[in-house]
A and B are shown apart, each in its own frame.
Chain A
Amino acid sequence: MRIALFATCLVDSLFPDVGKATVTLLERLGHQVEFPEAQTCCGQMHVNTGYQPEALPLVRRYVETFEPYEAIVAPSGSCVGSVRHQHAMVARKYADEALAVRAEAVAAKTYELSELLVDVLGVEDVGATYPHRVTYHPTCHSLRMIRVGDKPLRLLRQVRGIDLVELPDADVCCGFGGTFAVKNSDVSTAMLADKMTNVLSTGAEICTAGDSSCLMHIGGGLARLSTGVRTVHLAEVLASTAGPAT
């Protein structure tokens, strides 16, 4: 299958290894991956901070860039959530119905990584090996906005050598929330503290999730406290085939 990768602005600029892992994984499964260079950002930060007219050119760019492809994958539940739940809304409000209809069509073929693997490609065992003690944080938008359910866990359970441990209060937000983390820094930090306590209680070496943004938040806290626990994106775990990984 020919799959377009929407890397997301965060992965493109700050976490390129997550994009590389997504490519490695999909190619290993026998699919052709393309990276349309015209892509930039989905516009979620603008919409969620209240700047919808400023998000319109980004929505238009996303639609025009990805319209020609039959399937689009992003290693982010949150960005896919924005594409599905916000793009048509912004188009309808600040442009025209035609763009909104096109945005809906592109959104319908945009998948978060675990959705693409399980629902579209019909695979749960991706042939990965990852001999580490790992806990999985489901991320709010994957869980409640696009409802990936237990797909990431089904993928992780098939990974060779993994010691997957359940995260207490897993479905509670880590406190990131985009600009919330700076606008309401104190509350955000209080939420992060509880998330870190739960991660540490599992004894895991690795905390994984399907969103680099949440992982940047949790990982930033874990690093500040020198806990030794690392954050690794789901794509990197699934792309790994041997011994001591990333």
Chain B
Amino acid sequence: MSTFLGLPTAPHAGHLRGDGLFPAAAADAVKDSQLRRNIGHATATIRAKRARVVDEVPDWQQLREAGRAIKAETMAHLDRYLVQFEEAFTARGGVVHWARDADEANRIVTSLVQATGATEVVKVKSMATQEIGLNEALEAAGITPYETDLAELIVQLGNDRPSHILVPAIHKNRSEIADIFRREMPDVPGDLTDEPARLADAARLHLRRTFLTARVAISGANFGVAETGTLSVVESEGNGRMCLTLPETLITVMGIEKLVPTWRDLEVFLQLLPRSSTGERMNPYTSTWTGVTPGDGPQDVHLVLLDNGRTAALADEVGRSALHCIRCSACLNVCPVYERTGGHAYGSVYPGPIGAILSPLLTGLHDEPENASLPYASTLCGACYDVCPVMIDIPTILVHLRNRKVETSKADHKVPTPEAVAMAAMSYVWSDNRRWALAERLSRLGRVLGRRGKISRLPFPGSRWTRSRDAPVPPVESFREWWAKR
């Protein structure tokens, strides 16, 4: 049974949609050979690393199933787990704020920072804050946010947008990164080269003063444990640990779907996540905190629980498992489409296969032509489903969202689109074998287009095929005609 709960989708704020349709943005991206080389090289490296460390786990499939089952249980009782989490977090001295969308979340965070009197904040890498466009909101209020994750820093200094969930600057190579540092970093060493160690040193110098003086930190969260009210951040550089421990005030923005029921459940995800994301056996820096610990770490601890279309996604029975996503980005790294277009072509901060389902689920498909083009940004090859650590059946959800898109379009347009007319006509033809046999005979007229056994030029929309591929010439006799004569 399908239930319409009338839930609000993510409004036009933040970065969940781009300025154009995927096919046009992708066509531009494909032409950028430097971009294709950078992304092709980087994804091939991570792909191979992931495959090695996943293959060595004998019970990987059972782990995936456990991850899926825990998330499905969480989503089925999210109302209960959220309240349980809030009670536990509050009992340990934290403050919970509920935000229905990006604007509300940005207002809450901005006013919390303003209440401390601080004019700068340090940030842990966070997709949720990228999603809501928090940095822009803070800047508009006169507060300077400092991204402290190396790749997020590169993106921020370059006035750029992340193009990958885990490796936000994946579209840049090291010489491009050195150029950005030389241009944008106020305290850049004069003799900076593009050696990775020198680049990391420059970033470390640049960030050190900020770490030691910042009074407010902003983070996302990988997991929230409902049972204990614990938050967790999983990162590789240690910058997150500095942000989470040094400042007086810590504000975390977390999507409501990030909960797991019990502390023990983390065992499953802390095995699945590092192997799927960075291709490491164990994650380097895993921080957990439960409210306030007197005399140790931040004494003023806040959590903003973000909906921004998540409840609407939850109401979609087929699509809701997209909320199981733990943001590992394994699906991006194996996707042959992502590998050739990069992340910016998807418009949303969530690119690749997971973005192609998550972004339209969060914003809805009504009056959202950009995100409505995303479910079609896939050949349905299924590589994403095979690597997903929580078994999100992305191809099935893509097909489901295409159906939602078409049904939305039919409801919105009194005059059917040319595609809808063609599809209805083909349905009529294939509903009867005599009609189909007639159509086959008529298609033989296409033989006049044939030259040397192939067709090199078809009229639109066939021209989109023949611009790079020959088409077959219809045969003189269909299979069914051959069979009938047999």
Q: Which residues on A are within 8 Å of B, measured CB to CB?
A: 7, 9, 11-16, 19-20, 35, 37-41, 43, 45-52, 54-55, 57-58, 61, 85-86, 140-141, 143-145, 171-173, 175-192, 216-217, 219-221, 223-224
Contacts and interface: CB of A to CB of B under 8 A. Distances in A.
Contacts of B336: 172-173, 175, 191
B440 A13 contact: yes
Which of B36, B405, B456, B465 has the most CB atoms of chain A within a 10 A radius of its CB? B465
Which of B403, B465, B471 has the most CB atoms of chain A within a 10 A radius of its CB? B403
A103 to B, nearest CB: 16
B379 A140 contact: yes
Nearest to B402: A50
A182 B479 contact: no
Contact of B479 (A7, A58, A175, A217): A7
A15 B468 contact: no
A52 B403 contact: yes
A131 B122 CA distance: 67
B431 A61 contact: yes
Nearest to A40: B430
Nearest to B482: A16
Given A12-B478, A140-B379, A187 B26 contact: yes
A61 B420 CA distance: 21
Interface string B427-441: 101111100100010
A38 B427 contact: no
16 contacts: A37-B433, A40-B433, A41-B426, A45-B426, A54-B423, A55-B427, A61-B431, A144-B383, A177-B379, A177-B380, A178-B379, A178-B380, A180-B379, A185-B27, A187-B341, A191-B340
Contacts of A192: 468-469
A199 B51 CA distance: 24
B129 to A, nearest CB: 30
Contacts, number: 197
A223 B406 CA distance: 35
Interface in B114-142: none
A14 B472 contact: yes
B478 to A, nearest CB: 6
Task: State the 7 A-B residue pairs at the shortest beta-carbon distance, nearest first.
Answer: A177-B379, A220-B469, A50-B402, A50-B406, A144-B382, A173-B381, A54-B427
Contacts of B482: 16, 19-20
B379 A43 contact: no
A141 B23 CA distance: 23
Contact of B468 (A16, A45, A185, A216): A185
B424 interface: yes
A182 B464 contact: yes
Nearest to A39: B433
Contacts of A41: 426, 430, 436
